[in-house]
Amino acid sequence: MISTPYLLFLGDAVDPLAAKVAQGIKDWRPELCVGQFRLPGCKADMGLEDLTIEEAMARGAKTMVIGVANRGGYISDSWREVLKEALNAGLDLASGLHNLLREEQDLAFVADQNERALHDVRVPSVQYPIANGIRRSGKRCLAVGTDCSVGKMYTAMCMEKEMRARNMKATFRATGQTGILITGDGVPLDAVIADFMAGSIEYLTPDNDADHWDLIEGQGSLFHASYSGVTLALIHGGQPDALILCHEPTRKHMRGLPDHQQPSLEELRDAALMMAHVVNKECQVVGISINTAALSDEEAKAYCAETEARMGLPTVDPFRHGAGRLVDALG
Amino acid sequence: MISTPYLLFLGDAVDPLAAKVAQGIKDWRPELCVGQFRLPGCKADMGLEDLTIEEAMARGAKTMVIGVANRGGYISDSWREVLKEALNAGLDLASGLHNLLREEQDLAFVADQNERALHDVRVPSVQYPIANGIRRSGKRCLAVGTDCSVGKMYTAMCMEKEMRARNMKATFRATGQTGILITGDGVPLDAVIADFMAGSIEYLTPDNDADHWDLIEGQGSLFHASYSGVTLALIHGGQPDALILCHEPTRKHMRGLPDHQQPSLEELRDAALMMAHVVNKECQVVGISINTAALSDEEAKAYCAETEARMGLPTVDPFRHGAGRLVDALG
C-alpha cells in the first residue's frame, strides 16, 4: 500500500504522453495530488501547482510518484538528485518503470538511511496464494475486451466514479501498473508467477458487503494470443457477477499481432460467459463499452446505437457519454 | 539442457511413490539411466543396478538426478554429503524440488569449485519472449483435460513412443518439472511470469519439418479455477493442430476444489476448440484419452466404448490399451 497524498514527479517529460501515468492519477484521483514537480524543459503539465519538495512536505505529501516514463523505462541521471532529495526530506518513492528503484544502489542506500519505502509497482510485493475457487460475498464486475488496450481500465474507473456519486459501495481494483499508481494498491498481474495468477485476484477482491461492488481492471483479451492466459486467470480469480464487453471499433488487427483479427462482440460474449460460469453460474453480460476516441460525435452515437440494437445490451462510451447506463445495468 | 545419461538418486525414499520422478524417467527414458543410487533404508527400487558414484562415472553418467521428494520438498542432510561427492566426482545435479539446489550455499560452493551445473528445473532458466502468434511450420498435438492430473503427460508420452516405433518424427515437449527431468529439457510453465507464458511455449515448439509432430505436455484445465490461465497460454502458445481430450472418470470434484465439478467432455471439446481456433483455424479434436487406472479391465473397456459412441471420437486409455488409435487419428 502506497502512502498518500502524492507529489507527482513529471521530470523532463518530452511530451504530455510521456506523463500519462501522472495524467491518470490527476484525472482519477485529484484529491490525492498535492502538486507537481517539474525539471527544466518539462513538456507536460497537469495543471497542478508546481511545488518544491519542502512545499509538498508542508502540504502533507507522503510519496513522490514517478508519473513519467523515459524511452526505455529507465531512471535518468537528471532525475536522480531530485529522487534522493525527496527521500532525504522524508518522502517515499513509487514507480512503475521497467528498471526498478530498488536496484539503483544509490537510491536504495538513501532510502534505507532515511527508512523510506521504494515502491516498484511493476513487481509483486506479496506472496499470493493459489486460488481456491470458493465463492465470496459481495459483487464483482469485470471488463473484458475484444483486444488489449481498448478501454477496460477507463471503463472500470468511470463506473466507480458514477457509483460513488450515487453513494453506492464501489472499489476500483487495479491489476496493472498505472492502475496501481492511481489507486495506491493492487496486483501487477502481468508480473505474477503463472501458478498464482488467479489466487492474486482472489486476494485482491476478498469477501465484502453484499451490496459492495469491486470494479476489477481487465487485462489482455481471451482472444489475444500473447496475453489470454492472464485474462482467463482474471475471470476465474475474479468470479465476476457482471461482465462489460469492451471494444475499439477502428482497430485493424489485434494489438501487436498483425496476423490476428479481433473477435466479434458475439464471440467475446460467448467465450467470456462460458468461462465465467465455471466459477459463478449467475454471471451475466450486462453492457458494452465502446472506446470511440477515434470517432466523431455523430459516428460514436451511431456506432453505439447500432451495437445496442444488434446485441440487446446498453452500449455507451463511458468516458464520452458517462457510465450511468452501465451502472444501471448492474441492477 | 541437462546432460545425459543419468544416475538416478533415490535417497532414503519412504515408499515407491516418493520416487515417482525417478520412476517416470525409468519408464519413459530407460536408455538415459546408467543406474540408481540408494541410501540405507530406501524403500524405492527402479530395478536398475545400484552403483557407486565412481561406477556411474565409469559408465559415462553426466548428471545425478534427484528422483525422490521428501515431504516438504527440501534437501535433507542425509543427502547432502552424497550430492557433494557427486559434484566432486564431476557429475552435474538436477532437481525439481521446491527448495533450490542453487540456494544451498554449500552445494553452490562445491559446484562452483568443480565447474559443475546445478539444474533447478522448478524455475525457468531462459528469458522467454512475449508470444507473437505467428504460425509455425510442423504439426503440434496438445492434450487438454477436464481437470488437473488426469493423464495428460502420460498421453503425450505414450503417443510419442508409438510414433517413434512407427518411425514418425515426434518430440515430447515437457512443460512441467517431471517431464523436464524425464526428457532433460522443457519449460516449467507454472513458474513462468504471466506475460511470458504463451511465448515460452512458442519458444519450446519452434518451426519444424512439415511432417514432424510436437507432443506438448498439457497443464491444468480450462475449467480449473486455480490454473486455467496456464492452460489457455498453452493452447495459444502451442497453436495445436490436434487436441486430445483427457478425462479421469472416477473423480468426485475438481482436484483441490471441493465446490467445483468437472465439465463434460462435450463442454471441454467446445471450449478448447473455440480457444484453439484463435491461433489455428484448422485445429481439430482427434481423440479421447481416459485414465482408467481406477477401473477394472471390463469397466475400462465399457467406459471407453460408451464414450466413443457418444462423442464419435477414438477413445482409449493409451497407457493400458496402447496409443495406436490416437496416433492413427492424427492422420
**φ, ψ for residue B271 (rounded to 5)?**
-70, -45
Taking only Cα atoms into account, the Rg of chain B, rounded to an integer number of angstroms, comes to: 20
CA distance B231 to chain A (A): 7
Per-residue confidence in pLDDT tens, chain A, 331 aa: 899 999 999 999 999 989 989 999 999 999 999 999 999 999 999 999 999 999 999 999 999 999 998 777 788 888 999 999 999 999 999 999 888 999 999 999 999 999 999 999 999 989 999 999 999 999 999 999 999 999 999 999 999 999 999 999 999 999 999 899 999 899 999 999 999 999 999 999 999 999 999 999 999 999 999 999 999 999 999 999 999 999 999 999 999 999 999 999 999 999 999 999 999 999 999 999 999 999 999 999 999 999 999 999 999 999 999 999 999 999 8
Contacts of B132 in chain A (CB under 8 A): 225-226, 256-257
- Return the closest-CA partner of residue B133 out of A106, A154, A220: A220
Place of cell 508420452: B157
**φ, ψ for residue A291 (rounded to 5)?**
-85, 100
Residues of A with CB under 8 A from a CB of B: 130-135, 189-195, 197-199, 222-223, 225-234, 236-237, 254, 256-257, 259-260, 263, 270-271, 274-275, 278-279
pLDDT recorded at residue B69: 85
> With b meaning 16 or more CB within 10 Å and e meaning fewer, what string describes B232-255?
bbbbbbbbbbbbbbbbbbebeebb
- Return the closest-CA partner of residue A156 out of A246, A44, A267, A66: A246
Contact B32, B52 (CB under 8 A): no
Contact A273, A296 (CB under 8 A): no
Contact B64, B117 (CB under 8 A): no
DSSP bridge partners of A63? A6, A92
Neighbour tally for A82: CB within 10 Å: 15
CB contact under 8 A, A278 and B260: yes
**A130, A236, A253, A279, best to mutate vs chain B, most B CBs in 10 Å:** A236
CB contact under 8 A, A194 and B131: no
Contact B64, B38 (CB under 8 A): no
pLDDT recorded at residue A17: 87
> Would you give the DSSP letter of residue B256?
T
Neighbour tally for A330: CB within 10 Å: 19
CB contact under 8 A, B254 and A131: no
Query: In chain B, what are the helix, strand and coil shares in percent, each to the nearest 5?
Result: 40, 20, 45
Q: List helix spans (H) across B142-245.
A: 152-165, 177-183, 197-204, 228-238
For A165-178, write each residue's pLDDT tens digit: 999 999 999 999 98
Neighbour tally for A255: CB within 10 Å: 19
Residue B5, preceding bond cis, omega within 30 degrees?
yes
Q: Are strands B212-216 and B169-173 parallel, antiparallel or unpaired?
A: parallel
Per-residue confidence in pLDDT tens, chain B, 331 aa: 899 999 999 999 999 989 989 999 999 999 999 999 999 999 999 999 999 999 999 999 999 999 998 777 788 888 999 999 999 999 999 999 988 999 999 999 999 999 999 999 999 989 999 999 999 999 999 999 999 999 999 999 999 999 999 999 999 999 999 899 999 899 999 999 999 999 999 999 999 999 999 999 999 999 999 999 999 999 999 999 999 999 999 999 999 999 999 999 999 999 999 999 999 999 999 999 999 999 999 999 999 999 999 999 999 999 999 999 999 999 8
CA dihedral over B204, B210, B214, B220, signed as positive or negative: positive
Contact A262, A254 (CB under 8 A): yes
Place of cell 496438445: B142
pLDDT recorded at residue A98: 84
> Which candidate from A197, A225, A237 shows the least CB-CB separation from B279?
A225
- Return the closest-CA partner of residue B331 out of B284, B299, B290, B291: B284
pLDDT recorded at residue A125: 86
C-alpha cell at A303: 456506432
Contact B135, B179 (CB under 8 A): no
**A98, A123, A195, best to mutate vs chain B, most B CBs in 10 Å:** A195
CB contact under 8 A, A278 and B263: yes
SS3 assignment for chain A = CCCCCEEEEEECCCCHHHHHHHHHHHHHCHHHEEEEEECCCCCCCCCCCECCHHHHHHCCCCEEEECCCCCCCCCCHHHHHHHHHHHHHCCEEEECCCCCHHHCHHHHHHHHHCCCCEEECCCCCCCCCCCCCCCCCCEEEEEEECCCCCCHHHHHHHHHHHHHHCCCEEEEECCCHHHHHHHCCCCCHHHCEHHHHHHHHHHHCCCCCCCEEEEECCCCCCCCCCCHHHHHHHHHHHCCCEEEEEECCCCCCECCECCCCCCCHHHHHHHHHHHHHCCCCCCEEEEEEECCCCCCHHHHHHHHHHHHHHHCCCEECHHHHCCHHHHHHCC
Neighbour tally for A214: CB within 10 Å: 27
* CA distance linking residue B170 with residue A155, whole number of Å: 47
* CA distance linking residue A97 with residue A175, whole number of Å: 16
Q: A31 Cβ partners below 8 Å, 6+ apart?
A: A5
Q: Measure the N-to-C terminal CA separation of chain A; round to a whole number of Å.
A: 32
> Which candidate from A132, A198, A256 shows the least CB-CB separation from B229?
A198
CB contact under 8 A, B132 and A227: no
Give the residue from chain B lying closest to A239, CA to CA: B225
CA distance B41 to chain A (A): 35
Residue B121's alpha-carbon distances to A195, B65, B89, B113, B139, in angstroms, are 15, 11, 22, 22, 26
CA distance A292 to chain B (A): 25
